[in-house]
Amino acid sequence: MKTTREEAREESHDEVVNNLNELLEKNYDAEKGFKKALEDAKNPSLKQFFKQQAVIRSRFKTEIEKELHDLNAHPKVKEGSTTGSLHRTWIDIKTALSGNDDESVLEECIRGEKASAKEYEEKLSKGHFPPNVKTVLTSQLHEIQNTISKVKRLEDIADD
């Protein structure tokens, strides 16, 4: 029979694992989204930017998977979410209707990145992560916020 303390520790562990798996799923979606944006973009510099972002999100996935393994847990996600798939379909429809322009692709990237940042912020404020996990997630959040700024600048350039 488990003590109350053991039960609380187990619940906390499960919460951390669930939160990490949800962020892992978000990163699968983001990586696929950037790969989709790479296909849709016309500008070579923009294509390179999207390629770099897909690589960054792949790294995020690897970092989160490592943290899960360090917690003796296994990643549950391998493909991404239905919501992410729907978002990529929406990008397809929107870019087709708008003449497949780079500005539309950038708008959807900003939307996706803002959703990612919001999820990270919520998890970090409510989750009880071990310090090393919190450090990894905070670093990833800062990179996402930097990406939002970069995409906004790219959108301004696309407007010109």
Do the domain assignments include residue 28? no
Q: Token digits for 70?
A: 């360090």
For residues 45 and 124, the answer to whether their CB atoms sit within 8 Å is: no
Q: Evaluate whether residue 49 is within a structural domain.
A: yes
Task: Name the band, by pLDDT with cuts 50, 70 and 90, for residue 97.
Answer: very low
Domain that holds residue 100: 4-20+36-159
Average pLDDT, the chain: 84
CATH number of domain containing 135 = 1.20.1260.10
Q: Is residue 31 part of a domain?
A: no
Can you tell me the distance from the alpha carbon of 4 to that of 146, in angstroms, rounded to the nearest whole number?
A: 42
Q: Is 130 left (phi over 0), alpha (psi -120 to 50) or beta?
A: beta
pLDDT-derived band at 80 (thresholds 50, 70, 90) equals low
Residue 102: inside a domain: yes
Tally of domains in the chain = 1
Q: Where does the pLDDT of residue 147 fall: very low under 50, low under 70, confident under 90, or very high at 90 and above? A: very high
Look at the alpha carbons of 45, 47, 49, 52 in this order and tell me if their dihedral is positive or negative: negative
Please, what sign has the CA dihedral across residues 79, 85, 88, 118? Answer: negative
Residue 54 lies in a domain: yes
Confidence category of residue 127, pLDDT binned at 50, 70, 90: confident
Tokens standing for residue 88 = 């990529």
Q: What is the pLDDT of residue 153?
A: 85
* Residues sharing a CB contact under 8 Å with residue 158, sequence separation 6 or more, in sequence order: 43, 46, 101, 102, 103, 106
pLDDT of 18 strictly over 50: yes
Question: Residue 127: inside a domain, yes or no?
Answer: yes
pLDDT at 10 over 70: yes
- Kindly state whether residue 27 falls inside one of the protein's structural domains: no
